[in-house]
Structure 1
């Protein structure tokens, strides 16, 4: 069997099994996202399924500074749609001149991270620096959004 990092070469049923197990493992975090999303619906948010991101997406969430927050297989987005462009954390901090990335790709990396780390993800994320250019989870999500590879923070 190919290495775990090269999931593109895995047989399709094995990929589905791994994704299903990841969703179950991420469920405690996803429940929190669902609770916040349900509250957002009462304030005018909308919800749709993103098969590509393996997530339920709540758009037009009326709280927060802008952007999106991933909690398990739930993405809370303050905008209309995740397909909009945004800057990487390093670009926004003036460290690089990266091209714009698609927000959906960045958030998908966080979904994958949580599917692997499950309920440990929020703790490890905040211990790694929270919402910051120095957080390896954010660096990996930006790397994935730029290249389509490297969503694991300690690769």
Structure 2
């Protein structure tokens, strides 16, 4: 049953994944490198040359400006000064977004933007932080 759900999620997220693959392939020409991360169900482009730092997930593709997703980062709430929270693993945070895309497909981007985009107010980012902290709770309306 899990395999079927994963396959359907991959298919449902495919339009967003294609956007990520196109962006990642362009990044290859500027020094990015790519590999598959089975645990994250994602193709990861490291050293992606654009953006302020960190990572961006599009479907089952993670565009990452650094060397490895296995590094710590601060939560959105911590960065915004809403509390002193322990650092989280970037890979866990981005995996939550992969799951969100697999559940919402084409609805992910409009809902994400409607919820505030890249911001501590965004329920998608808070859910991804919660998942990275606890290992559960990636659904934005939980």
| TM-score interval (norm. to shorter) | over 0.9
* Aligned equivalent of 2:67, options 70, 80, 83: 80
TM-score (norm: length of structure 1):
0.91
Give 2:34's aligned residue: 47
Please give the secondary structure, in 2, of the residue aligned with 1:44.
coil
State the 4+ residue runs in structure 1 displaced beyond 3 angstroms.
Answer: none
How far does residue 96 in structure 1 lie from its aligned partner after superposition?
Answer: 1.3
Uncovered stretches (5+) of structure 1, i.e. residues with no partner: 1-13
The equivalent position to 1:124 in structure 2, one of 102, 105, 111, is 111
Runs (5+) with no aligned partner, structure 2:
none
How many pairs are equivalent?
142
- State how far apart, in whole Å, the 2-side matches of 1:112 and 1:63 are: 24
In the alignment, is residue 152 of structure 1 matched against residue 139 of structure 2?
yes
Secondary structure of residue in 1 paired with 2:116: coil
User: TM-score if structure 2 supplies the norm length?
Assistant: 0.99
Of the candidates 25, 29, 48, which is equivalent to residue 38 of structure 1? Answer: 25
